[in-house]
Structure 1
């Protein structure tokens, strides 16, 4: 027995959780299945309610399995129950695509709820939150657990009702926005979000790693000027090489001497004179928007507005925008009306949001590749759950070409051959522009295809559902978080008028005999996880399938992160065949090396950004403790009675104690919020300025940042208190009440929320880490 255990641990993935205890519980649950099947519905619900008093995980699995069979028509596999138990133990469950993560997650959420914990199941978008909540609602009802969901259009009343349920499904962004709005509430009754307990995160690696440092922002209306179109017109006329130059990785751009002279000639001013700093900034931002941000790659224009594209998902990044100056510059570049801009009132990163929960768990198909980051930043471990049926997918070696043109020809030929055999093909591309370029090539070759990218992502569920149909060709941008399985033979639901023989098992068998779904990658992504997510769309639940990636020495990944490994013509160290195919092992190593460099740089950026946000989070925590004491107690009234005793007594005599206490609370809350917004703006300016200074002097920017940010944070509460006393002293009152307007309390006339894409072409953080790339370049096998 000991030998078997050692052998089992030997083949288990290093760093993963031991599944043996979970398997034993599932086996125990199996022995109870016949008894549980005999229970009427009411008795099953009653049996589940007993679990609120005494924990019995095997009984939970048995009851949950039977409840799913009755309400959803699905009997969870043993491995799904293993995933459920991993989630209940506070781990990240790695489960392959098509293995039933949604159901496993619902059973885990019910289990947490039956333990008396309020559960937030966080998804990546509104559609998945609502779909999964409504899909799983009958299961929850039979287990005696209430469920709700929150979406972007939910009203405050609907949000309160949803959060009052035992289990709440919501996009992670909406939970963050509700938290930010609560932090500006001026009355306890206005609060929406309850105290956090359990966060169960779907697509955990995407949310917890790829988007960990994305700031969620609450902004207020402010008088900020839109970008002047003259700057967009000016930089559009500048010539590359002559008037401006970009760095090797196309992450930064700057005017040359000739460019500066041309700009000064057009604008009629000394660009670098202190009084023209605003013009210099406007020119630089417009130049970045023109040269470094590309339509159909970084963003699309839809319905007269700029829509950012999520790099990790290949879809429109809902509610996301660049910092106001850059956002306005891109809108001017595209000759669009300027979107509302405003002052940031508060913000929170996804990582900080998830860190508020006492229990954190998640599920995804690709977690082990970032196991170190999940442990380092969230104290999470990975439970690698095996598939119900062994994966028989044929993952072929990469096909490397000397040039991008040779690669594209080979891709079309590969698609045509698979299509001729009746095999469905899913092609994963890097961005919208590439997906459309490939679609045009396929059309010229006479091949029908469907394109799924940020321009038509509203149709994605229907497109993906049919991607496994006989002979189908689907060209898509990144496949992470699509939330829809690709079934061989296409959707199991036949459209009206379709003969049964044309769908279901017959078509599944025909596609399986042709070899199953073939996944083709048009290049390696910057993260191996994204490669694995694309590859994992084939071979679902033991089906046949295959995958192959086509790469070239001219791919963006190589030219950006390993530019010294190939010459400008894309010729590798080895030779290429007549069709441009490269077989040299050293050349193949270059692509993997570039990907490892990209992953290393991303990790260091994550760490570096976390260090800054950690300090800001500590300062925010201190302010929020003070705000909570004011919002939910009499701290403000006591402070004013102490700091402005004479005025407090006069106002109380005139307007009454209750009115004075309410006025004191509104004043202190306003000044705390005002000081915090100003502090955030100061820290943003400080961070950028610190980098400019430290890069020139060789100083550690984080140390320099802390040197100035820490004292500023210590002054924050004192400043707010002094302002509060001054405002309180300025109050006027009558028998009708207190005139708060006399204290100058002017909150924003409107507020809105969005996510900031604050690293569109390389922040100063990244430029400070440029040397890291050279370190990675120096590493060899």
Structure 2
């Protein structure tokens, strides 16, 4: 049977199109929904809400007649609450999402409203819903914007964000529909796993049954590269400013080398000698050397992390940039050694050190929901990934009005300088007509460089990047205004419509006559899907628009993933301005992008192979932790293994106080063992490929090392807790853990960790490092 299922799965992969969900069944219901429109329009608001209430009941999916009734009522609710009548394509999207699919709807087609009607539809069937977005701003905006619709449908709604209070947070999760960013909902889950009192949890006892993912490709694919990691204060890493200064003097190509991907850097023999001399003649490669790890992390910070690309410095702090969105990653940092190294590199105030308390991948977070659906403008490009990692199918919804945007071929230049000159000239020429321009750059540094050059040409522009992301929505809303020039990093104001003529569309017709919004990309992103997202900012709802991408032979993506293309192989020589018209060269640009997409997919695939074991172990531990938190497991443990002390304390302090003290002691030791286990698995992951070099399978070795250690966690936690029960002072205020040296973190924060282990490039880099180490030792 298993073999038959596997064969069927392979056949399905071969025969199915990437977006294979048929919506014919739901299209047939649209006329019936329209037939109900006039009758429902005659209902009062109270009668409408009452009609929706009659659909409440069992948690089964809506039957066809119920689906028709719900969509008709939902359309009327939107008309009354927002003065917006949902198009047929929006209702088609609603029905597709209620069936558990990811629907692809073009920019400007009304995904926000479709999502709200879908969430309310699930809520009507008794399912609690989390509407998951890419950032806090969109979560709050959409919850407040759609609230009148929810109220008419008789559904409660709330939102969570980074700055809301615990009371607000708990109330939002008690609502039938709760909006929140993927990181905020994930971190609330992690925080709930760290509490020592059931009353401090915010998500339970109301777990959501449905995850409705807005911008599904961004959340499920782009954000999935960054695990959500919760850290807490600990004795630990100190910043080494001297090491940063030593590394700052090293020269690339002489003292250290980097791999082609820019993911690894290592000292050359010459570099090792230079570092040893600078540190006073130490032996860098001596056994148990305290210097090698510090040098490596300082070198990583110096050589691989770039200011205004990977991070910015603001208010005397290093602030990370989420490269998937080109935005500040609020309250996030790199693991301590790297964070400290970057702070030393930039000579800014050091942050406190800590250790990882727990983590969860986006994939594991989404897997917790029994039902998942979503919406985005670009899903087909990642349909295979959505199917492989989330078991989700994509349904494509045709636009309400055909897209008439004109997408030009990529303009490829010989050098970055030639590309940038042509880019500025194109902006200057287009701006003379008054046509609005949106320039999409690859990073913060480039956005500021383009803005500076435009200023030198007496052109004013608005810059949207990680340094001023708080103004994002207002800036993007005006990007379609007459004469506007907007320069933005990736994912410009995603979720905010760019209307021709400005947010009030005052000059709509004038701008439309000029060709609509003109989108210019300064380079191709690592995925064609991200390119399409930028293009999709123009041409909403049948409006005119245009797009073009500028690229150069020196672009990092081209040199990294298509290094074989060189000027001398071109059949047609470049023009005087450096423009390359040779079709072969342009084909290499697309090839490089496809290779980049393949690399990212393989990273995701390999990462999940390893992390899913940890996720399974985490679920087991957290289930046990919940029992301790919500029952008398700890009290019975001590009553059994320390009966005399338990009886004495109960007689002296009362059963309730002793049970709570027992709970605190056992929770501390279980959490401590779990933290230690996470550290151990991280160490194993760092070295598992050394075993691969010895002809052993890394994943098997990883399991072989990690599983036995995991099995020790609960027994050891119980044993040490019993020992502590005999020694920890327990008084009227409970267990005095800190006096016994059992100190919990005094604060927590989140880490930015790019989980990129075990790819072939990393293996190659590891081999190179080991070879260099051997060479250095051989020369002594």
TM (norm. structure 1) is 0.91
Give the SS at the match of 2:364.
helix
Give the SS at the match of 1:360.
strand
Question: What's the counterpart of residue 368 of structure 2?
Answer: 356
Cα distance, 1:713 vs. partner? 1.1
Where do residues 621-636 of structure 1 align in structure 2 (5 Å cutoff)?
621-636=619-634
The CA deviation string for residues 317-336 of structure 1, in whole angstroms up to 9 with x for no partner, is 22332111111111111100
Cα distance, 1:536 vs. partner? 0.5
Moved over 6 A (4+): none
CA–CA distance in 1 between the matches of 2:148 and 2:310? Answer: 41
- 50-59 or 92-101: bigger deviation: 50-59
Question: What's the counterpart of residue 689 of structure 1?
Answer: 687
Question: What's the counterpart of residue 727 of structure 1?
Answer: 724
CA–CA distance in 1 between the matches of 2:305 and 2:570? Answer: 29
Note closer, same or farther for the CA distance 1:37–1:402 as it changes in structure 2 (3 Å cut): same
The CA deviation string for residues 110-157 of structure 1, in whole angstroms up to 9 with x for no partner, is 111111111111111111111111111111111111111111111211
CA–CA distance in 1 between the matches of 2:492 and 2:511? Answer: 24
Question: 2:229·2:753 contact (CA, 8 Å) conserved in 1?
Answer: no
Question: What's the counterpart of residue 169 of structure 1?
Answer: 179
CA–CA distance in 2 between the matches of 1:742 and 1:484? Answer: 49
Question: 1:124·1:481 contact (CA, 8 Å) conserved in 2?
Answer: no
Cα distance, 1:399 vs. partner? 1.5
Would you say 1:399 and 2:411 are equivalent positions? Answer: yes
Question: 1:312·1:480 contact (CA, 8 Å) conserved in 2?
Answer: no
Q: 2:276 aligns with which of 264, 288, 293?
A: 264
Cα distance, 1:742 vs. partner? 8.8
Question: What's the counterpart of residue 250 of structure 1?
Answer: 262
Question: 2:660·2:734 contact (CA, 8 Å) conserved in 1?
Answer: no
Give the SS at the match of 1:272.
coil
Question: What's the counterpart of residue 767 of structure 1?
Answer: 761
CA–CA distance in 1 between the matches of 2:764 and 2:600? Answer: 11
Question: What's the counterpart of residue 575 of structure 1?
Answer: 573
Note closer, same or farther for the CA distance 1:699–1:596 as it changes in structure 2 (3 Å cut): farther
Question: What's the counterpart of residue 552 of structure 1?
Answer: 552
Cα distance, 1:14 vs. partner? 4.5
Count of matched residue positions in the alignment of Structure 1 and Structure 2: 742
Question: What's the counterpart of residue 562 of structure 1?
Answer: 562
Cα distance, 1:467 vs. partner? 0.9
Cα distance, 1:168 vs. partner? 0.8
Give the SS at the match of 2:328.
coil
The CA deviation string for residues 496-521 of structure 1, in whole angstroms up to 9 with x for no partner, is xxxxxxx52xx111111111111111
Would you say 1:212 and 2:224 are equivalent positions? Answer: yes
Question: What's the counterpart of residue 120 of structure 1?
Answer: 130
Question: What's the counterpart of residue 42 of structure 2?
Answer: 38
Question: 1:216·1:753 contact (CA, 8 Å) conserved in 2?
Answer: no
Cα distance, 1:80 vs. partner? 0.8
Give the SS at the match of 1:211.
helix
CA–CA distance in 2 between the matches of 1:60 and 1:630? Answer: 43
Q: 1:748 aligns with which of 724, 731, 744?
A: 744
Q: 2:479 aligns with which of 456, 467, 477?
A: 467
Note closer, same or farther for the CA distance 1:481–1:84 as it changes in structure 2 (3 Å cut): farther
Note closer, same or farther for the CA distance 1:572–1:673 as it changes in structure 2 (3 Å cut): farther
Note closer, same or farther for the CA distance 1:303–1:16 as it changes in structure 2 (3 Å cut): farther
Give the CA RMSD over aligned residues: 2.1
Q: 2:194 aligns with which of 177, 184, 190?
A: 184
Q: 1:22 aligns with which of 26, 31, 41?
A: 26
Question: 1:428·1:521 contact (CA, 8 Å) conserved in 2?
Answer: yes
Cα distance, 1:461 vs. partner? 1.3
Cα distance, 1:302 vs. partner? 1.3
Note closer, same or farther for the CA distance 1:725–1:213 as it changes in structure 2 (3 Å cut): farther
Cα distance, 1:481 vs. partner? 5.7
Give the SS at the match of 1:212.
helix
TM (norm. structure 2) is 0.91
Question: What's the counterpart of residue 643 of structure 1?
Answer: 641
Q: 1:662 aligns with which of 657, 660, 663?
A: 660
CA–CA distance in 1 between the matches of 2:413 and 2:285? Answer: 50
Note closer, same or farther for the CA distance 1:743–1:195 as it changes in structure 2 (3 Å cut): farther
Question: 2:237·2:336 contact (CA, 8 Å) conserved in 1?
Answer: no
The CA deviation string for residues 276-317 of structure 1, in whole angstroms up to 9 with x for no partner, is 622221112111111111111111111211111222211212
Question: 1:553·1:571 contact (CA, 8 Å) conserved in 2?
Answer: no
CA–CA distance in 2 between the matches of 1:326 and 1:172? Answer: 25
Cα distance, 1:251 vs. partner? 2.3
Cα distance, 1:733 vs. partner? 5.6
Q: 1:339 aligns with which of 343, 351, 354?
A: 351
Question: What's the counterpart of residue 4 of structure 1?
Answer: none
Question: What's the counterpart of residue 196 of structure 1?
Answer: 208
CA–CA distance in 2 between the matches of 1:251 and 1:738? Answer: 50
Cα distance, 1:737 vs. partner? 7.7
Cα distance, 1:226 vs. partner? 2.5
Question: 2:19·2:396 contact (CA, 8 Å) conserved in 1?
Answer: no
Cα distance, 1:596 vs. partner? 0.8
Cα distance, 1:68 vs. partner? 0.9
CA–CA distance in 2 between the matches of 1:22 and 1:29? Answer: 10
CA–CA distance in 2 between the matches of 1:206 and 1:582? Answer: 33
Would you say 1:718 and 2:697 are equivalent positions? Answer: no
CA–CA distance in 1 between the matches of 2:314 and 2:739? Answer: 44
Question: What's the counterpart of residue 533 of structure 1?
Answer: 533
CA–CA distance in 1 between the matches of 2:415 and 2:571? Answer: 13
Question: What's the counterpart of residue 652 of structure 1?
Answer: 650
Question: What's the counterpart of residue 777 of structure 2?
Answer: none
Cα distance, 1:241 vs. partner? 2.1
CA–CA distance in 2 between the matches of 1:398 and 1:339? Answer: 44
What residue ranges of structure 1 are gaps of 5+ in the alignment? 1-11, 493-502, 772-781
Question: What's the counterpart of residue 520 of structure 1?
Answer: 520
Question: 1:48·1:63 contact (CA, 8 Å) conserved in 2?
Answer: yes
Where do residues 423-438 of structure 1 align in structure 2 (5 Å cutoff)?
423-438=435-450
CA–CA distance in 1 between the matches of 2:323 and 2:427? Answer: 25
Cα distance, 1:650 vs. partner? 3.9
Would you say 1:408 and 2:412 are equivalent positions? Answer: no
Where do residues 138-153 of structure 1 align in structure 2 (5 Å cutoff)?
138-153=148-163
The CA deviation string for residues 547-568 of structure 1, in whole angstroms up to 9 with x for no partner, is 111112111111111223336x
Question: 2:18·2:384 contact (CA, 8 Å) conserved in 1?
Answer: no
Note closer, same or farther for the CA distance 1:440–1:571 as it changes in structure 2 (3 Å cut): farther
Question: What's the counterpart of residue 704 of structure 1?
Answer: 701
Question: 1:86·1:383 contact (CA, 8 Å) conserved in 2?
Answer: yes
CA–CA distance in 2 between the matches of 1:469 and 1:107? Answer: 31
Question: What's the counterpart of residue 69 of structure 2?
Answer: 59
Question: 1:479·1:534 contact (CA, 8 Å) conserved in 2?
Answer: yes
- 366-375 or 720-729: bigger deviation: 720-729
Where do residues 359-374 of structure 1 align in structure 2 (5 Å cutoff)?
359-374=371-386
Cα distance, 1:165 vs. partner? 0.8
Cα distance, 1:411 vs. partner? 1.5
Question: 1:48·1:144 contact (CA, 8 Å) conserved in 2?
Answer: yes
Cα distance, 1:572 vs. partner? 4.8
What residue ranges of structure 2 are gaps of 5+ in the alignment? 1-15, 766-780
CA–CA distance in 1 between the matches of 2:691 and 2:750? Answer: 31
Question: What's the counterpart of residue 508 of structure 2?
Answer: 508
CA–CA distance in 2 between the matches of 1:479 and 1:620? Answer: 33
Give the SS at the match of 1:606.
helix
Note closer, same or farther for the CA distance 1:701–1:513 as it changes in structure 2 (3 Å cut): same
The CA deviation string for residues 17-59 of structure 1, in whole angstroms up to 9 with x for no partner, is 1111222223211110000100011111111111113741111
Note closer, same or farther for the CA distance 1:580–1:273 as it changes in structure 2 (3 Å cut): closer
Question: 1:271·1:280 contact (CA, 8 Å) conserved in 2?
Answer: no
